[in-house]
Amino acid sequence: MEFPASAVGVISACVLALRPWSLHISLEPVALGAALAYRLGSGFSIWAFLGAALTALCVHSAGNVVNSYFDYAKGVDSTSVLSSDALVRLGAVLYALGLAAFLVQYTSSPDGRLLALVFFGGMCCSFLYTGGPGFKYIGLGDVLVMVTFGPLSVLYSFLCQVVVFSPSSLISVLLYAVPLALNTEAILHANNLRDRVADSRAGIVTMAVAIGPQLSHVMYAVLLFVPYIAFAVVAFAYGAISMLMPLITMPAAFQLERECRFGHHAELDRHTARLNTYFSVFYVLAVAMAQRLPGFGPV
């Protein structure tokens, strides 16, 4: 296999290895964590936000590089944009940058040990998705994605912003991360639905492969609509009317459910990612604007 020799070719190949089209899903939990910290009365630090965003982007990008390396090594992908050695070096650099960004955040965190636990947990998850035992290949990739882009990333951003917190506020943060985690997992599940036949032939056991097309459709619908139900419950049971804002995206979710139901999987992951972007924006705004929010005090 030939690899790019020119500087421009190498840079282009490195960018492709990062899978930049997927990186927005690491910024959304950072924004949500910052919004939750703001609701707790900690204000908003742009530097803490940028530091958390840089950390998340570096670790996510490194995980994508690891994914590219092992997918090619295991024969899942027939081509690779960079040589194996180049992918290893790029992944190491990205993890090092993520670690450096974390260390800056660590010095100002009210609980550096907890922040470190969350960071290294997230870094391990980004590697173990395809590295080591390769959770992606044994049916546990969906769980790893939900944990990483939900509770871990939201909690990391929250801890970077917050000045003081209580155990109950940490539990609230984890609960508020669940709707975003489910919606983000819907992207991966849509991707796995599209690749179900090819993955099965390659010996990869994703959730879509394990449960088959009919139950996969049910799972996709659950991932899409449970967050909306949760928002409605919070809005009406606790008077947090701003939490209805994400329901603006619900018509698009119904359209995606129809795509999935009728087997139109070719563009389903891309369409779900687009929904995820709007869903996340309205969710973050809803949290930031809420006058009453369960688990947090009034503005």
Residue 28 lies in a domain: yes
Instruction: Provide the whole-model pTM.
Output: 0.92
Helix, strand, coil percentages (3-state) for the chain, rounded to 5, are 80, 0, 20
pLDDT of residue 199: 86
Output the average pLDDT for the chain.
90
Question: Residue 42: which domain range?
Answer: 22-289
Where does the pLDDT of residue 161 fall: very low under 50, low under 70, confident under 90, or very high at 90 and above? very high
Residue 4 lies in a domain: no
Residue 1 lies in a domain: no
pLDDT of residue 178: 97
Residue 299 lies in a domain: no
pLDDT, tens digit (0-9, with 9 covering 90-100), for 8-62: 677 777 888 788 888 999 999 999 999 999 988 878 999 999 999 999 999 999 9
Q: Which two tokens stand for residue 139?
A: 């049916």
pLDDT of residue 282: 98
Residue 17 lies in a domain: no
| Torsion sign, CA atoms 184, 185, 190, 195 | positive
**Alpha carbons 99 and 4: distance in angstroms, whole number:** 29
Mean pLDDT of 59-66: 94
Residue 87 lies in a domain: yes
pLDDT, tens digit (0-9, with 9 covering 90-100), for 245-287: 999 999 999 999 999 999 999 999 999 999 999 999 999 999 9
pLDDT of residue 174: 96
CATH of the domain at 187: 1.10.600
pLDDT of residue 150: 95
By the 10 Å C-beta count (0-12 exposed, 13-18 middle, 19+ buried), 193 is classed as: buried
Q: Could you identify the residue written with the tokens 């009317």?
A: 241
pLDDT of residue 7: 62
**Closest C-alpha among 283, 202, 205, 271 to residue 242:** 283
Residue 5 lies in a domain: no
Distances (CA, A) of 290 to 142, 170, 239: 31, 18, 9
By the 10 Å C-beta count (0-12 exposed, 13-18 middle, 19+ buried), 237 is classed as: exposed
Give 56's contacts (C-beta < 8 A, 6+ positions apart): 26, 27, 29, 30, 122, 153, 156, 157
Residue 71 lies in a domain: yes
Q: Which residue has the higher pLDDT, 2 or 60?
A: 60
Give me the number of domains the chain comprises.
Answer: 1
Say if residues 253 and 182 touch (Cβ distance below 8 Å): no
